[in-house]
Amino acid sequence: MEQLEELNESNLLDLWNEYCSNICDYESYIYNMCEIDNVLEGLTPTEIINKLDDDFSLNADYFINGIYGVRSFDHLAEEIELSDLVNYILANPEEIDLSFYGIELED
């Protein structure tokens, strides 16, 4: 689906997170860095430090709060498994409103 590769980063992030929510894979949910305070709210400073990846940077654009800790990165497209997303969309076309993202399934 070439249309996925043409999405702007905001829509790609939203679509990926909708997919992650639908399959209950919250470990792969991607956050904008501006959301870090809300995501880590309730943790003690020690818990936060223990969760951070060794090369974590608040200057990065995105982060994942996964089972292996909190990892930061800048390149969204490198973190999203487009093939998994495409396979899910094709197998479950009713689960995600692709028209919201300006995507039409080809027959």
Which residues have C-beta within 8 Å of that of residue 20, sequence separation ≥ 6?
Answer: 26, 28, 29, 30
CA distance 1 to 33: 28
What is each CA distance from 6 to 10, 54, 87, in whole angstroms? 12, 32, 17
- Give the rounded percent of residues in the chain with a pLDDT score beyond 70: 97
Q: What's the confidence (pLDDT) of residue 41?
A: 96
Q: What is the pLDDT of residues 97-106, one digit of tens each?
A: 888 888 887 7
CA distance 23 to 18: 9
pTM to 2 decimal places:
0.88
- Could you tell me the residue ranges of all domains in the chain? 2-101
CA distance 44 to 85: 35
What average pLDDT does the segment 34-52 reach?
95
Residue among 25, 29, 6 nearest 98 (CA): 6
Q: What's the confidence (pLDDT) of residue 9?
A: 93
